[in-house]
Structure 1
Amino acid sequence: MRTGSSDQTLTLCERVAQHLAFIYREVEPGPDCPALAEELLAIMRLASDTPAPPTHVNQWDQGDALVLSYGGSILAPGEPPLRTLKHFLDRYLQGRVSGVHILPFYPYSSDDGFAVLDYLSVNEELGDWEDIQAIADKYDLMADLVINHCSAEGEWFRNFLNNRDPGRGFFVTAAPATDLEAVVRPRTTPLLREVQAVDGPRHVWCTFSPDQVDLDFRNPRVLAEMVRIVRYYLDNGVRIFRLDAIAFLWKVPGTSCLNLDETHEVVRLLRTLVSHARPDAMLITETNIPNQENLSYFGNGNEAHCVYNFSLPPLLLNTLVTGDCTYLKQWMMSMPPPQHGTAYFNFIASHDGIGLRPAEGLLSEDELQALIGTMRRFGGHVSYRRLADGESKPYEINIALFDALQGTVEGPDEHNIPRFLCAHAIMLGLEGIPGIYLHSLLATHNDHERVEETGHPRSINRHQWNLAELEEALADPTSEHGVVHRGMLELLEIRQRQAAFHPNATQFTLHLGCQLFGFWRQSADRRQSIFCISNVSALAQTLNLADINLIDTEAWQDLLTGRPFQSRVEQVTLAPYQTVWITNLPDHR
């Protein structure tokens, strides 16, 4: 039985203690849950009678979109990169985004920030907390709570090896003979790493890499330290917490150690604490796993505010390189509308690769292999994960999205830019909050040199721009970087004005064949409808307006071109990868 009680007769301290009792129910000896609850409230500076925030309230609208970026993605001589990033956002995004996700900006030892050395510091190569706060003052700031693991070079792990605090008992260990065959792995490196501690050899649990050692939340001191970090981030302007790799948090040998009940309860506990501390704060779970498992992190509206829509990137990419939307449409029809107070976080590119686990059960094995083969021809790499039988299986495709969409399964063609903008027009029309990778706004290509420098396939999509070179490219009217940037800003600007693009507005999938992908959005007040239809093929396609049942008494117009439609039986020719947003209220807000 899971908790997550919404009983308003309970005090906040009682609710927190209830979460803790469930989390530690099988831990011996377990903590004094009421006392631990009081400690956590003290860390968060909350009183037991702090009023509960309203539930099932949407803290977002169609004006919300986030840009995702490393703190050091744009460099200028003599200026901290975080300051350069803010100047770029202010000048080149022109109010088109409401928030920014700055990927781990803490000191780290590996994995481009996800092996954290010190959670409470800003990497001095990027800037300082004043730079972070300056961004948070103007944009909704999303930051990573790297909760599953930390660096093997950090103070906590050094103290663990020397049996000192803080760090004593902070990390998961297991005997080499332990049956761990059922554990789900996202990597091919060994799960256990032998280290020498003052009391002898220990085998520590490393889900992701030998330098990223998993924290042991069975120890309540670990939970208390993580809550202390959450409070510090709130104090420094963080509004949105990305719970990194949260699905792997709790370990029980003999199980998959993935999505365990205790993990879900930790999310519910963090939701309770964060929402009481800042009612407009949000939790987003990063769970690169099959679709139904991913959706479970909504809970009953009491876990994540948003879940990453991980199945969208591989399905949309597959659609655009095959010219067939069948799989994407089937998935869309199976997706439940999030209840109020929750939303999908839509993205099609990120600092990581295009995950293939979220496509399991959605794309056939033949489709997956064809997609992988096409991406390899376009300069991409493939990362693998280890299965229980010792075999390896493709885990993600590593490629810059602009290069991933340079052609179809037939090879490269002349439709790169239209295809790329089509992908984003589809994403921006879908129910949910859009997250746009900075490099998608800039049409950044594969960075093969960076892969050679780092030895990591993911570096292909983590280019660092020189600001002067970037500004020159954006100013050139013939540059693909400038064309894409202007096209993306136009899509974002139009989206912001449409009530039917509210993240929770009604959505229905349309059935227009395999080459036309379409869906209908309707605003909460039912005044505005938008029919979002994209030609996902390299050939012109005919759209019969009779197939989408436009109401005769309304005047309909394409938001993207301004073209009016005079008759509900009109036929419209869509060029390769053209999108239309057909609405009855083009200026509805």
Structure 2
Amino acid sequence: MPPVEHAGSNEGLDETPHGLANRVAQQLSVIYAGGELTPAMHALAVDLLKAMRLDDDMPQPNPYLNHWDQRDALMITYGDSIQQEGQAPLQTLKHWLDHHADGCITGVHILPFCPWSSDDGFSVIDYLQVNEALGDWDDILAIGAKYTLMGDLVINHCSSASQWFANFLNNEEPGKDYFATASPKDDLSLVVRPRTSPLLREVEAIDGTRHVWCTFSHDQVDLNFRNPEVLKRMVEIVRHYLDNGVRIFRLDAVAFLWKKPGTSSLNLRKTHEIVRLLRTLIEHARGDAMIITETNIPNQENLSYFGNGNEAHCVYNFSLPPLLLNTLVTGDCFYLKQWMMSMPPPQHGTAYFNFIASHDGIGLRPAEGLLSDEELQTLISTMRRFGGHVSYRALEDGQNKPYEINIALMDALQGTVAGPDEYGLQRFICAHAIMLGLEGIPGIYVHSLLGTRNDLERLEATGQNRAINRHQWQLEELERQLADPGSEHAQVFHGIKELLAIRQNQSAFHPNATQFTLHLGSTLFGFWRQSSDRRQSIFCISNVSDKAESLQLSDINLIEAQDWSDLISGEDCNKQQMLLEPYQTVWISNRRDHR
């Protein structure tokens, strides 16, 4: 992503009055020494700078620099989502990107590509190796040389099959004190987690019985960041990833990082300070490197990971998927509009990462406090009718609560609360048109880009709910589908590509351009975008219902002295009203920018 300077200056920024080592030592003191700047913190800071190959006299990067613009869009994919016999999947992925997505996709998030033992990659055995079933570091480098590469730093936990864990059990280094433990007698009643399995796993170590902390599964053992050696190891891994082309670090499940019995062990102060520390090290190592936090939690907690422009460059817009899905299956944008009006505009140097489908499910925690219990139950029931499944999390009282809906987005949008209908394709394209117009950087899951439906065979074979949306395409079959104009997959792919092509040329679609929510009733969802130079305005309006709706152009106050047209259809908008067909989106602009 090319750096784009906003209209401003570096005035007030601290260049290097104290040196980078001292700044890092101050951050470490918050984590490990109660805020006291001790010699041990200085020594640890020097070790971290050495691991990252940083000099003490490096200047402070400008935190208000945008590393993105409207041309940027990322595709989210597993390394083996597209396969060809006889070829490493990472090579097949690059081949497909080069031949089909070059020009519309500027970046790619390759989901965990290290050797793993469970959770489709999120239980890492060795952070410094590429899973040989996918390819090697040369394949990662080749993708990163052409596309902005996002990689997962699975920072909260690693595999029980790792050498670190074997060493932990044998009281050997590295690994001796690398994993979080607790006593069953500790007060763990307030701990928040997204699973229903027991939090503690009993293991027999060489020095006796231990109870290791497992936020997610008993194969995913939480790392012990109370031990500074674990932090040093993670920093070494970050440096290795930078050397191999990773430019965006997705901090997986980072909200759970610091554990403290008697608390929720979620979003603790020291967790935020570790994010700040990683930001300091990463942005000094590479001016174009970024952090994005993966925090599938309620909306306000999620937003806290922006910090004061000193934590994540981007946060996932986790509330968008359930709210947009609810809007399109009910035909009522009330809740989506209410949420939009509450969202603060990110300051320069930060941005929302917008997505509406992912390798996981459609999270329900980010909808807490935004959708009523009745709305959530209606949404869950509708998704079950469309072939979806529901995953649960445990509550303090021992009850289980729906945590996420597992379904392919193409199937999730096949109808409304009244049942399936003939508008599935239009509804699906509408969802993406809304996302692509919003402030923020878009991330499109590969199976949304390709219009992939529920993979029931994979679901049955694995017994894992999330497998329903983790199909693996054979390249030959995918090519055949995309070459057929009548194929649903081709229609989805080319429909989204056309929207991306339009978006890339409009300055009002810069991720940090002004955005205001419009009030057009319950069935017309709209918002206004304006470029930073105020030369371009775009009114993004979607009919979210299955009935044609009339848009009174006087309701959006188009300036009469300017010519207005729909960027998508090319239709002239210098008239009193427009008729929007079911799920039609218009991007009404006073100019069509071209680069």
- For normalisation by structure 1, the TM-score amounts to 0.98
SS at match of 1:470: helix
Residues paired across the two proteins, number: 583
Partner of 1:209: 217
Q: Give CA deviations for 1:268-313 in whole Å, capped at 9, x if unaligned.
A: 0000000000011000000000000000000000000000000000
Partner of 2:191: 183
Retained in 2: the 8 A contact 1:31–1:220? no
Partner of 2:582: 576
Of residues 382, 386, 399 in structure 2, which corresponds to 1:391? 399
Counterpart residue type for residue 505 of structure 1 = A
Confirm whether residue 168 of structure 1 aligns to residue 187 of structure 2. no
**Structure-2 separation of matches of 1:566 and 1:39:** 64
**Structure-2 separation of matches of 1:97 and 1:501:** 16
Counterpart residue type for residue 386 of structure 1 = A
Retained in 2: the 8 A contact 1:120–1:229? yes
Partner of 2:7: none
Confirm whether residue 87 of structure 1 aligns to residue 100 of structure 2. no
Q: Give CA deviations for 1:487-517 in whole Å, capped at 9, x if unaligned.
A: 0100000000000000000000000000000
Question: Which 5+ residue runs of structure 1 have no aligned equivalent?
Answer: none
Retained in 1: the 8 A contact 2:348–2:512? yes
Partner of 2:286: 278
How much has 1:53 moved relative to structure 2?
1.4
Partner of 2:376: 368
How much has 1:587 moved relative to structure 2?
2.4
Partner of 2:456: 448
How much has 1:526 moved relative to structure 2?
0.2
Taking the TM superposition and a 5 Å limit, the aligned residue runs for 1:56-67 are: 56-67=64-75
Retained in 2: the 8 A contact 1:446–1:460? yes
How much has 1:16 moved relative to structure 2?
0.2
How much has 1:123 moved relative to structure 2?
0.3
**Structure-2 separation of matches of 1:262 and 1:121:** 29
Q: Give CA deviations for 1:337-367 in whole Å, capped at 9, x if unaligned.
A: 0000000000000000000000000000000
Retained in 2: the 8 A contact 1:499–1:588? no
**Structure-2 separation of matches of 1:211 and 1:538:** 46
Confirm whether residue 422 of structure 1 aligns to residue 430 of structure 2. yes
Retained in 1: the 8 A contact 2:29–2:35? no
Confirm whether residue 585 of structure 1 aligns to residue 579 of structure 2. no
How much has 1:94 moved relative to structure 2?
3.0
SS at match of 2:344: coil
How much has 1:50 moved relative to structure 2?
1.3
Counterpart residue type for residue 347 of structure 1 = F
How much has 1:258 moved relative to structure 2?
0.2
**Structure-2 separation of matches of 1:345 and 1:269:** 21
Confirm whether residue 340 of structure 1 aligns to residue 348 of structure 2. yes
Confirm whether residue 530 of structure 1 aligns to residue 538 of structure 2. yes
Question: Which 5+ residue runs of structure 2 have no aligned equivalent?
Answer: 1-12
**Structure-2 separation of matches of 1:436 and 1:509:** 23
Counterpart residue type for residue 89 of structure 1 = L
Partner of 1:549: 557
Confirm whether residue 359 of structure 1 aligns to residue 359 of structure 2. no
Taking the TM superposition and a 5 Å limit, the aligned residue runs for 1:87-126 are: 87-126=95-134
**Structure-2 separation of matches of 1:363 and 1:80:** 44
Confirm whether residue 482 of structure 1 aligns to residue 490 of structure 2. yes
**Structure-2 separation of matches of 1:26 and 1:357:** 32
How much has 1:92 moved relative to structure 2?
1.0
Of residues 416, 419, 424 in structure 2, which corresponds to 1:411? 419
Counterpart residue type for residue 201 of structure 1 = T
Counterpart residue type for residue 221 of structure 2 = V
Partner of 1:518: 526
Retained in 2: the 8 A contact 1:528–1:588? no
Taking the TM superposition and a 5 Å limit, the aligned residue runs for 1:124-203 are: 124-203=132-211
Taking the TM superposition and a 5 Å limit, the aligned residue runs for 1:234-273 are: 234-273=242-281
SS at match of 2:194: coil
Q: Give CA deviations for 1:552-575 in whole Å, capped at 9, x if unaligned.
A: 0100010000111223xx110000
**Structure-2 separation of matches of 1:130 and 1:280:** 21
Counterpart residue type for residue 91 of structure 2 = R
Partner of 2:311: 303
Confirm whether residue 51 of structure 1 aligns to residue 59 of structure 2. yes
Partner of 2:8: none
**Structure-2 separation of matches of 1:300 and 1:87:** 40
Shift in CA distance, 332/543, structure 1 to aligned 2, threshold 3 Å: same
Q: Give CA deviations for 1:532-586 in whole Å, capped at 9, x if unaligned.
A: 000000000000000000000100010000111223xx11000000000000011
Retained in 1: the 8 A contact 2:551–2:580? yes
Counterpart residue type for residue 579 of structure 1 = T
**Structure-1 separation of matches of 2:426 and 2:243:** 43
**Structure-2 separation of matches of 1:265 and 1:106:** 27
Q: Give CA deviations for 1:420-439 in whole Å, capped at 9, x if unaligned.
A: 00000000000000000000
Shift in CA distance, 301/399, structure 1 to aligned 2, threshold 3 Å: same
SS at match of 2:275: helix
**Structure-1 separation of matches of 2:481 and 2:401:** 39
Counterpart residue type for residue 541 of structure 1 = E
**Structure-2 separation of matches of 1:588 and 1:543:** 27
Retained in 2: the 8 A contact 1:74–1:84? yes
Confirm whether residue 350 of structure 1 aligns to residue 323 of structure 2. no
Counterpart residue type for residue 576 of structure 1 = P
**Structure-2 separation of matches of 1:320 and 1:452:** 29
Counterpart residue type for residue 332 of structure 1 = M
Retained in 2: the 8 A contact 1:508–1:519? yes
- For normalisation by structure 2, the TM-score amounts to 0.97
**Structure-1 separation of matches of 2:508 and 2:211:** 54
**Structure-2 separation of matches of 1:185 and 1:371:** 23
Q: Give CA deviations for 1:169-213 in whole Å, capped at 9, x if unaligned.
A: 000001111110000010000000000000011000000000000
Retained in 1: the 8 A contact 2:15–2:59? no
**Structure-1 separation of matches of 2:428 and 2:16:** 48
How much has 1:97 moved relative to structure 2?
1.1
Of residues 433, 437, 441 in structure 2, which corresponds to 1:433? 441
Counterpart residue type for residue 20 of structure 2 = L
Counterpart residue type for residue 568 of structure 2 = L
Partner of 1:319: 327
Shift in CA distance, 52/27, structure 1 to aligned 2, threshold 3 Å: closer
Counterpart residue type for residue 547 of structure 1 = D
How much has 1:588 moved relative to structure 2?
4.9
How much has 1:26 moved relative to structure 2?
4.9
**Structure-1 separation of matches of 2:547 and 2:124:** 48
**Structure-2 separation of matches of 1:385 and 1:72:** 29
How much has 1:9 moved relative to structure 2?
1.8
**Structure-2 separation of matches of 1:181 and 1:165:** 32
**Structure-2 separation of matches of 1:31 and 1:347:** 44
Retained in 2: the 8 A contact 1:27–1:218? no
Q: Give CA deviations for 1:48-80 in whole Å, capped at 9, x if unaligned.
A: 111221221111000000000000001101000
Counterpart residue type for residue 95 of structure 1 = G
Q: Give CA deviations for 1:356-401 in whole Å, capped at 9, x if unaligned.
A: 0000000000000000000000000000000011000000000000
Of residues 367, 386, 402 in structure 2, which corresponds to 1:378? 386
Of residues 550, 565, 573 in structure 1, which corresponds to 2:573? 565
Shift in CA distance, 417/118, structure 1 to aligned 2, threshold 3 Å: same
How much has 1:25 moved relative to structure 2?
2.8
**Structure-1 separation of matches of 2:165 and 2:201:** 13
